[in-house]
């Protein structure tokens, strides 16, 4: 369904027209969204957790490489769907077209929960690193993080162009800074550190921890799908979306492998595994106290770029759901002057503030992965379904390596989730149960819609 069409009620009849969002975003901004969102808090927060679960340098490398391959295959596969359906909503649209409205609603339900989790996690990491410059108490940490979310949400309420400009600048700055930090570490770190680390930890590989580590690393790699929610605002989307998705993902994988190698160059493995601020600790080993300030500033800029991109893209799913009458129509309103989905932004912001006041980072990160990645896999399965159901549909881009590439993404994603269910059944089971809770919510929503329509006709 194109954004310029009318919303559909549950019976499929035309209803109130939805105002379309203008197409103002180009290829560079699209790639900046992919790179900027993915490279946020994860690479500065999760390496110690992955080191602990994998038990060795070899295990840590495997986790990052496997996670990168899964992510790349997902981006390659989703690019075909994005070019086919260049409308706001991203995976919500693909699930609706492949499976129908019920599964699309389930995605929207879990997106409502998990995107707010992501905003909260990103803002908490920013404040953690801000604490390296000024003393911040535990209670103040959560309040400052909440204020940061409100500030960026207000900016996106006001202007899409302003958000895109900040995304472009912050993404370029973080790439230059991360690569610069890695180069400095390789040039100045003691040569013995890396050799000793590998030798000491290569025999401690924990195969049982690889699966758990992958759940965490998928958080660090997550964000490529966010660009697809902005498809309705991309210029020449059939061309720009595949370029930005695949190109941006490749850049991220390269940067992640480089900076992880730099961390291991600077820090003994056991020190890295116990670090609370790994980028700061690594920079201090080669640059002294100045390194702490530089790394802390890098993390803060990086997280701000990721948070900005998330706030820029996430509310578009609720805009699309409102267009389909699967969410409150008010959430689909476009500001008459600023041309932004301002109600959706305010709505998501409010939920994120609640999360940030009551949860910690690791809880937020794992809950996000276990909630959203099953739907990404189902979206790619939808690619197979749509190839069969609509063989003659226009496909400006076709996934390279079909059917192997999308098949491996699906298998890899469900293998990670299945292993997480085996190792952490309670945590994973709660996430799956929360997703399934969307089923009665869907039928309850339809019943409510029919009730409202009957009252309107009286």
User: For each of the chain's 458 residues, which pLDDT tens digit applies?
Assistant: 444 443 444 333 333 345 678 898 999 999 999 999 999 877 888 899 899 888 889 889 999 999 999 999 999 999 999 999 999 999 999 999 999 999 999 999 999 888 887 888 888 888 887 887 888 888 788 899 999 999 999 999 998 889 999 999 999 999 999 999 999 999 988 654 444 444 444 446 666 667 778 878 887 898 889 999 999 999 999 899 999 999 999 999 999 999 999 999 999 999 999 998 888 899 998 888 888 888 889 989 998 999 999 999 999 999 999 989 999 888 989 999 999 999 999 999 998 998 887 765 555 555 566 678 889 999 999 999 999 999 999 999 999 999 999 999 999 888 878 877 777 787 777 778 888 899 999 999 999 988 888 887 76
* Beta carbons within 10 angstroms of residue 452's beta carbon: 10
Record the pTM.
0.85
Long-range contacts of 204-207 (CB under 8 A, 24+ apart): 204/55, 204/56, 204/59, 205/54, 205/55, 205/56, 205/58, 205/59, 206/53, 206/54, 206/55, 206/56, 206/59, 207/59
Please give the Cα distance from 43 to 13 (Å, whole number). Answer: 47
Distances (CA, A) of 98 to 102, 220, 378: 11, 28, 9
Distances (CA, A) of 440 to 105, 115, 270, 321, 436: 11, 21, 47, 17, 8
Residues linked to residue 25 through DSSP beta bridges, in sequence order: 234
Residues linked to residue 14 through DSSP beta bridges, in sequence order: 8
């Amino acid at each position: 369904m194109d954004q310029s069409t009318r919303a559909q009620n549950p019976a499929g009849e035309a209803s109130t027209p939805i105002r379309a969002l203008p197409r103002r975003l180009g290829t560079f901004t699209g790639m900046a969204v992919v790179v900027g969102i993915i490279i946020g808090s994860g690479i500065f927060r999760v390496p110690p957790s992955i080191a602990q679960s994998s038990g060795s340098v070899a295990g840590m490398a495997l986790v990052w490489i496997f996670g990168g391959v899964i992510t790349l295959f997902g981006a390659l596969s989703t690019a075909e769907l994005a070019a086919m359906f260049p409308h706001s909503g991203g995976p919500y649209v693909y699930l609706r077209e492949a499976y129908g409205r019920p599964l699309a609603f389930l995605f929207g339900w879990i997106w409502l929960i998990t995107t707010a989790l992501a905003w909260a996690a990103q803002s908490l990491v920013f404040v953690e690193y801000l604490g390296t410059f000024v003393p911040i108490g535990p209670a103040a940490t959560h309040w400052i993080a909440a204020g940061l979310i409100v500030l960026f949400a207000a900016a996106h309420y006001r202007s899409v162009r302003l958000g895109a400009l900040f995304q472009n600048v912050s993404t370029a700055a973080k790439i230059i800074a991360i690569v610069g930090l890695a180069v400095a570490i390789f040039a100045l770190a003691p040569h013995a550190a890396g050799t000793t680390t590998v030798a000491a930890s290569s025999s401690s590989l924990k195969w049982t921890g690889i699966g758990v580590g992958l759940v965490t690393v998928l958080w660090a790699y997550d964000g490529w799908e966010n660009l697809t929610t902005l498809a309705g605002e991309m210029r020449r989307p059939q061309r720009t979306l595949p370029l930005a998705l695949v190109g941006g993902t490749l850049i991220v994988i390269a940067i992640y492998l480089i900076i992880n190698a730099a961390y291991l160059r600077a820090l003994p493995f056991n020190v890295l595994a116990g670090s609370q601020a790994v980028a700061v600790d690594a920079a201090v080993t080669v640059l002294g106290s100045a390194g702490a300030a530089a790394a802390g500033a890098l993390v803060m800029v990086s997280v701000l770029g990721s948070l900005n991109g998330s706030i820029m893209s996430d509310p578009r799913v609720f805009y699309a759901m409102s267009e389909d009458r699967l969410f409150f129509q008010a959430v689909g309103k476009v500001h008459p002057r600023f041309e932004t989905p301002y109600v959706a932004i305010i709505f998501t912001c409010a939920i994120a503030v609640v999360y940030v006041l009551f949860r910690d980072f690791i809880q937020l990160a794992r809950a996000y992965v276990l909630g959203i990645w099953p739907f990404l896999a189902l979206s790619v399965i939808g690619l197979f379904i749509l190839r069969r159901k609509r063989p003659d549909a226009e496909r400006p881009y076709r996934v390279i390596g079909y059917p192997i590439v999308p098949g491996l993404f699906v298998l890899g994603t469900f293998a990670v989730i299945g292993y997480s269910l085996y190792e952490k059944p309670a945590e994973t089971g709660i996430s799956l149960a929360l997703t399934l809770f969307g089923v009665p919510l869907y039928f309850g929503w339809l019943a409510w819609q029919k009730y409202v329509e009957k009252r309107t006709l009286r």
